[in-house]
Amino acid sequence: MRSNYATNTENGSATKPQQYFEGNRKGEVNELKILVKNTINEKDDKKKREVVKKVIAYMTLGIDVSKLFPEMCMASYTNDLVQKKMIYLYLTTYAEQNKDMAFMAISTFQKDCKHNDPKIRGFALRNLCSLRFSGAIEFLMPAIKEALSDIDAYVRKTAIMGCVKVFYMQPEQLNNIEDQLYKMISDNDPLVIINAIHALNEILAQEGGMALSKKMVDYLLGRLKEFNEWGQATILDELSKYSPKDDKEMFNIMNLLEERLKHSCSAIVLGVIKVFMNFTKNKPQIYEQVITRVKLPLVTLASISEGNFEIMYTILCHIKYIASKGYNSVFASDYKSFYCRVDEPTYIKLLKLEILSLIACDFNLGDMLNELGEYVTDVDQEISKKSIQALGAIAIRLPDLATAIVKQLSSFVTLQDYITNEVILVFKDILRKEPKHIKDCLEIIQSDNITDSNSKIALIYILGQFGSQIPLAPYILETYIGAQESVELKHTLLTSCLKVFFVRAPEMHQVLGKLFYVIINNENEDIDLKDRAAYYYRALNSNANEVKQLWQYSIKVDKFLEETIINKEALLFEFNSLSVIYEKNVNKFIKPIEYFNNLRNKELQDLNQEQQQTQTSTTQEQTSDVIENPQSQSYGQTNDLLEISDQPQQQMYLSVDSFIVNFTIDADHFENMWTNLNDGATFTRMLIRNDIANETSIEQLFKQYRLYNIAAGEEENVLKMYFYGSHQCQVFFEFEINKNLSTVILNTRSEIEDQAYLASKYVEDFLKQVHLIE
């Protein structure tokens, strides 16, 4: 008996595109289930796609469509890859929520792992590997091992990635899979080789990644041109970890890779340069020759990447890295290649300005000063400020040529306020290294256009350090006393006033006294500033000459501390890595694998703890119900403890004696009851015996347990049978064996809902006794 309760879907196709997300249709899930059932045997793939799309749309809206799981498993028997992808998405979404569903999904994926189409085999394996629960591993490993030797390359490389997923879930299940992955490096397909390399690096991360031998290096170099660009980049990254046994082997590898420097792909060029640099890092003379050789490819790549600014930025970062390591003279002759262009984004221009400040020298300085002077007047304030900083960096790095730069910076005093503010900040650093330039800075120091707080602090610092050479120093400092400024500025003002006082006491006597009075008598002033002012005041009253001697020290700085720290960190940067982009050591932005392992373990512990708490709360609720309603635990108990109840105790399980022997009903009664009763109990189990999975054997088995067959049929290896029985009430069963999925499904309905669950458990028990199901 195969009842069809759904309308025919053949006439349901509309001319306009279907809208899959129109409102919340939670009430239509049952109709959708029937619709999926009716389209399982549909030969038109377009119609089947529309139905599956509708299921995915419901799932996307957050509607629970897990009831459709068996039907979706059946719908997966198609060669249409589009349907496969959507159905697999559904299966993986709901599989982990229910163990029975998970086994059905696993059975579906296992079946498709043996499909004739390699794309379907690979896609099924990939989804099987995505099931992240412990019970899936025992089914996953056999599929992976079989797929590693598949005739199709796509399936093999998918299986390799599956090994990595298993490694992160349960590494002990791999059973020395590394040997097989090493063998797959000699595979005919380049993509399989690359996946094997990545997998070995993940699995053997704690051992330093994949081990390289001379034989393997020669093999990979011999097949280098067969790989795509990213494959070549992967192999070059592995080669950079290799240490040649002698100079002859080193030069042979470098000569073989030299032609790759002409490649248009930046990843390949940078990879080759990294190999060269790592091979020669302990040979200074050859290393310098390598830097000279790779200059042209880097500059060329930066020039041809005009349309792709992200790649251009990466190349420029590596050029800056090489220049900052002391090889700036290599790029000095190509300084015009680093001039800014109008169509370039700001971040490219800023990086180019940093490179220009590094490669400036005596023969290109004149032209470069004119170019940077033009950038100072740029409409973009960020570019303007960076240009001034670049001029200051050149003056600090080339002290013999600093005079011309200082004069040029002084000429900007009549421009906008933000330019004057930035020039003051640059002058502070220049004067810390070369105090002799103070006379060239007098004009801008005495300017009234300084508005920025940091620039004011820099100005006050300069006035304090060079108060004896700046005529208006005492009077400029006096203008800041009592003003509403930052605490940092007030600290600098106090220090500078003391310094000027020791060289120009008559002019600073009243100014310093006024400053002490304003700070000490201000109740709202910073407590540290007040303590410091009081300390200086008492020290001057005690012995001013001794205090003066403490303040007399050299102000010239040979090298800034910030430069020393940056240079030391730059030595730890790894070429052709994110550390060059971020200007940080790799350990500062990439967490080790132990971090993620600990994080995963903590998540599992939290999940187990949450489950235990849920179980504990459920037990407590049940206990409280027993305490509050003790009569619920005693069948027929009344307030009179001596009264004996005539009501029979409710059975907590069913046995064969509970059912009526040779109970009979007609087909119409069964169909009427099955249609009108609500869904009762359902379970899905794995089929483990095929010898009795036939209509005759199943009917005899159920009859032994006093359940009788009323209808049966088999189509496409799917056997469906209907049974009934009676004890306290009538119960009805829909029993299905799907030999394609190796699953057994039982739907039970009863006149009394609780009895449906007891009857379902009764059937499950005797099916397990005959080992039909797990």
Residue 252: predicted pLDDT: 93
Secondary structure element (H or E) that encloses residue 86, with its range:
helix 81-95
pLDDT tens profile 527-579:
999 999 999 899 888 888 888 877 766 566 666 665 555 555 555 578 888 88
Q: Report whether pLDDT(603) > 80.
A: no
113, two tokens: 């792992």
Contact 430, 406 (CB under 8 A): yes
| Three-state helix/strand/coil letters over 54-76 | HHHHHHHCCCCCHHHHHHHHHHC
Residue 652: predicted pLDDT: 54
Contact 273, 294 (CB under 8 A): yes
Q: Report whether pLDDT(195) > 90.
A: yes
pLDDT tens profile 60-78:
888 888 888 888 888 888 8
**DSSP secondary-structure letter at 772?**
S
Of 412, 482, 488, 419, the residue nearest 457 (C-alpha): 488
Instruction: Give the whole-number percent of the chain exceeding pLDDT 70.
Output: 86
Secondary structure element (H or E) that encloses residue 748, with its range:
strand 743-750
Residue 267: predicted pLDDT: 92
Q: Report whether pLDDT(150) > 70.
A: yes
Residue 562: predicted pLDDT: 58
Residue 331: predicted pLDDT: 92
Q: Report whether pLDDT(99) > 80.
A: no
Query: What's the CA angle centered on 529, arms 527 and 532, to 5 degrees?
Result: 110
Instruction: Give the whole-number percent of the chain exceeding pLDDT 90.
Output: 26
Across 662-688, average pLDDT:
82
CA distances from 247 to 80, 224, 254, 745 (A): 57, 22, 10, 70
Q: Helix count (H) and strand count (E) of the chain?
A: 33, 5
> What is the pLDDT confidence band of residue 14, given thresholds at 50, 70 and 90?
very low
Q: Report whether pLDDT(160) > 60.
A: yes
Q: Report whether pLDDT(617) > 90.
A: no
Contact 728, 752 (CB under 8 A): yes
Q: Report whether pLDDT(95) > 50.
A: yes
pLDDT tens profile 33-61:
888 888 877 788 888 888 888 888 888 88
Residue 636: predicted pLDDT: 37
pLDDT tens profile 727-753:
878 888 888 888 877 788 888 888 776
Residue 627: predicted pLDDT: 44
Contact 132, 117 (CB under 8 A): no
Residue 561: predicted pLDDT: 62
Residue 228: predicted pLDDT: 92
pLDDT tens profile 714-728:
887 888 899 999 887
Alpha carbon distance 400, 391 (integer Å): 14
Q: Report whether pLDDT(659) > 60.
A: yes
Alpha carbon distance 384, 376 (integer Å): 4
Contact 688, 773 (CB under 8 A): yes
Residues 6+ apart with CB under 8 A from 594: none
Residue 363: predicted pLDDT: 87
Helix (H, G, I), strand (E, B) or coil at 585: coil
Q: Report whether pLDDT(300) > 60.
A: yes
Q: How far is CA 378 from the centre of its chain?
A: 38
Residue 610: predicted pLDDT: 67
165, two tokens: 């997923």
Of 223, 145, 155, 221, the residue nearest 192 (C-alpha): 155
Query: What's the CA angle centered on 179, arms 175 and 182, to 5 degrees?
Result: 140
Higher pLDDT, 472 or 639: 472
Residue 7: predicted pLDDT: 37
Residue 9: predicted pLDDT: 38
Q: Is 263 exposed, middle or buried (0-12, 13-18, 19+ CB in 10 A)?
A: middle
CA distances from 443 to 426, 491, 496, 497, 739 (A): 15, 25, 20, 21, 94
Residue 686: predicted pLDDT: 81
Residues in the chain: 774
Of 154, 211, 137, the residue nearest 181 (C-alpha): 211
Of 306, 295, 396, the residue nearest 342 (C-alpha): 306
Q: Report whether pLDDT(612) > 60.
A: yes
**From the CB of residue 167, how many other CB atoms can be counted at a distance below 10 Å?**
18
Residue 571: predicted pLDDT: 55
DSSP class per residue in 457-517: HHHHHHHHHTTTT-TTHHHHHHTTTT----HHHHHHHHHHHHHHHHHSHHHHHHHHHHHHH
Alpha carbon distance 640, 718 (integer Å): 57
Q: What average pLDDT does the structure give for the chain? A: 82
Left (φ > 0), alpha (ψ -120 to 50) or beta: where does 378 sit? beta
CA distances from 118 to 143, 152, 227 (A): 14, 6, 22
Residue 354: predicted pLDDT: 93
Residue 558: predicted pLDDT: 65
Residues 6+ apart with CB under 8 A from 427: 392, 406, 409, 441, 444, 445, 458, 462
Residue 614: predicted pLDDT: 61
Residue 21: predicted pLDDT: 45
Task: Give the amino acid at 456.
Answer: K
Query: What's the CA angle centered on 708, arms 707 and 713, to 5 degrees?
Result: 125
Q: Report whether pLDDT(605) > 70.
A: yes
Of 228, 289, 216, the residue nearest 254 (C-alpha): 289
Higher pLDDT, 649 or 594: 594
pLDDT tens profile 634-657:
333 333 322 333 333 344 568 888
Range of weakest confidence among 135-139, 341-345, 378-382, 400-404: 135-139
Across 116-120, average pLDDT:
89
Residue with tokens 């880097």: 298
Q: Report whether pLDDT(219) > 90.
A: yes
Range of weakest confidence among 23-27, 162-166, 528-532: 23-27
Across 92-113, average pLDDT:
81
pLDDT tens profile 345-396:
999 999 999 999 999 988 888 899 999 999 998 889 999 999 999 999 999 8
Of 522, 524, 496, 497, the residue nearest 508 (C-alpha): 497
467, two tokens: 């108060």
pLDDT tens profile 250-281:
999 999 999 999 998 999 999 999 999 999 98
**From the CB of residue 610, how many other CB atoms can be counted at a distance below 10 Å?**
10
Of 82, 89, 77, 80, the residue nearest 114 (C-alpha): 77
Alpha carbon distance 118, 176 (integer Å): 26
